[in-house]
Amino acid sequence: MDAFNNLMAGINVALQPTNFFYCFSGVFLGTLIGVLPGIGPMGGIALLLPLTYRISGMASIIFLAGIYYGCQYGGSTTSILMNVPGEASTIITCIDGHQMALKGRAGPALGIAAFGSFIAGTLGTIGLMLVANPLAKIALKFGTSEFFALMVLGIVVLVSISSKSILKSLVMAVVGFALSLVGIDPIAGSERFTFGVLHLNSGLDLAPLAIGLFGVSEVLIDMEESIKASFNIIKTELKEYFPSLKDWRDSAGPILRGTVLGFLVGIIPGGGAILASFASYAAEKRLSKHPEKFGTGVIEGVAGPESANNSATSGGFIPLLTMGIPSNAVMALLLGALMIHGVRTGPLFMSEHSDIFWGVIGSMYIGNVMLLILNLPLIPLWVQLLKVPSKILLPLILLFCILGSYSVNNNILDVLIMSLSGLGGYVLRKLDYEVAPICLAFLLGPIMESSFRRSLIISDGSFMIFVTRPITAVTLLVSLFLLVYFGLKRKKIFDLDLET
């Protein structure tokens, strides 16, 4: 009953005009970002993060969360109609979704993607509401060494699954950690790597760094493509979006399984919507009585992954809000946004900021309803936006990047940092390095360093504290196992036939 009363209070908070406006803006822009190929939730949130500096912490997290789960809705549109994933987590949707469209079943594919996303998003939010409080109570028993080990695990899982080369991902994580050292030493209080620049005493800001790594580098890569492929956009009518009873019977199991699997994967540090969608597709293919039909246009191949990636976004909030540990790079940006507003996440978050927690929960219920209403009728509009010439769209995105970076502190140095990180991100991506580990390690770096050094202070300099405490030791052993396992295997996580 307390949970129900808190939920009603959270919905009332989310329905306040300001919060309702930012919820709508977030899901609308998130859908748009999901539709536009290449930007993704990381680039979109990084680009729009500076807009949240002048609003409350509540409205900020509602807005950014809306962008995140809104991206999962929008990405399926281009995957199905054009065979071009609008967002990385919808890559797997292209396989059967576009085949359905080629067979004249674009409507049911889009419909089941929208309804499955709505069901999974709603159930995932219920899971977040039920699991967060017990997990927060467990997290209260964690000490500095346990938090250090958990953050190591988060980085290790991300680098283990984010690239074919474990070494490259580890190098990127080290770069991110090194960047986090700029500023004032949290223990000794001395300056580090500031080179006499007063502005760097407070450390590097998240927004210019993320905008450069994801926004500017994406623009540079797109500008490099002098010849754009012409896409065959398959049209469908609004009346065709409703799946048949047979479609629902075929999709019911995949939707429920995808919801549960996605939620659990979302909780795991380093997991996320991309991993969840691939895991769901692999599970449905193995459970199917006719696995040979996958890849030819079966609706189960759309329903499962689309449900999983939406459910994973809800699950990802659990470690962020209860332990202060982002489960993926997108959550790292959301953590940065909360830190900017002076909101500290962790075991005491639900008691100290219960209004924000339940306000976000309420906004997610409302946002999922908004997305269901918006997603299908606006598909023709999203398709038209895809026809905007890149010579117009890309300079506008670059302009927003510059404005967003400058608005952080009204300092031209932030624009310089954005430019350098953009050029660096471009070079790294051309060399097949992934930049997401940089962002995650950059945000976790200060917390991980403080936890590590405080653990040594508590143990009088003895490293045995990381061995004698059971949770710490087990977590570090799991991290080591994952590094060795994925480093030796260096194969695809899932044995999938991804031929399109």
Residue 285 lies in a domain: yes
Structure tokens at 450: 């403080």
pLDDT score of 87: 67
**CA-to-CA distance for 102 and 297, rounded, in angstroms?**
9
Strands (E), 243-398: none
Interval 109-135: pLDDT, tens: 888 888 888 888 888 888 888 887 777
Q: Is residue 24 very low, low, confident or very high in pLDDT (cuts 50, 70, 90)?
A: very high
Percent of the chain at pLDDT > 70 equals 83
Provide the residue range defining the domain that includes 473: 2-226+237-489
pLDDT score of 225: 63
- Section 474-489 average pLDDT: 80
pLDDT score of 82: 67
Alpha carbon of 164 to those of 101, 284, 432: distances in Å? Answer: 32, 24, 9
pLDDT score of 85: 63
Dihedral sign computed on CA atoms, order 243, 246, 248, 254: negative
Quick check: 31 and 70 in contact, CB under 8 A? yes
427-434 contacts: CB < 8 A, separation 24 or more?
A: 428/172, 428/217, 429/217, 429/221, 430/221, 432/163, 432/165, 432/168, 433/163, 433/168, 433/169, 433/171, 433/172, 434/162, 434/163, 434/168, 434/169, 434/172
**The whole model's pTM is what?**
0.68
Structure tokens at 107: 């409507």
3-state secondary structure of 142: coil
Most confident stretch, 116-125, 327-336, 437-446? 116-125
Whether the pLDDT of residue 485 is over 60: the answer is: yes
- Section 437-464 average pLDDT: 83
Residue 363 lies in a domain: yes
Residue 453 lies in a domain: yes
pLDDT score of 22: 92
- Section 284-298 average pLDDT: 82
On average, the pLDDT of the chain sits at 78
pLDDT score of 412: 85
What crossing angle do the helices spanning 245-267 and 106-139 adopt, rounded to 10°?
30
Whether the pLDDT of residue 21 is over 90: the answer is: yes
Kindly report which listed range (13-17, 83-87, 129-133) carries the lowest average pLDDT score.
Answer: 83-87
Structure tokens at 465: 């504290």
Residue 372 lies in a domain: yes
Query: Where does 83-141 have alpha helices with state H?
Result: 93-102, 106-139
Total of domains in the chain: 1
- Using the 8-state DSSP alphabet, how is residue 87 labeled? S
3-state secondary structure of 192: strand
**CA-to-CA distance for 328 and 271, rounded, in angstroms?**
6
Whether the pLDDT of residue 500 is over 50: the answer is: no
Whether the pLDDT of residue 496 is over 60: the answer is: no
Quick check: 251 and 116 in contact, CB under 8 A? yes
Whether the pLDDT of residue 368 is over 90: the answer is: no
Residue 93 lies in a domain: yes
Angle, CA 386 vertex, CA 383 and CA 389 arms, to 5°: 145
Residue 496 lies in a domain: no
Whether the pLDDT of residue 251 is over 70: the answer is: yes
Residue 497 lies in a domain: no
Residue 232 lies in a domain: no
Quick check: 144 and 466 in contact, CB under 8 A? no
Query: 352, 367, 284: which is closest to 28 by C-alpha?
Result: 367
Which residues neighbour 481 within 8 Å (Cβ) at sequence distance 6 or greater?
none
What burial class does residue 174 get, using C-beta atoms within 10 Å of its C-beta: 0-12 exposed, 13-18 middle, 19+ buried? middle
Q: Is residue 493 very low, low, confident or very high in pLDDT (cuts 50, 70, 90)?
A: very low
Phi, psi of 192 (to 5 degrees): -135, 125
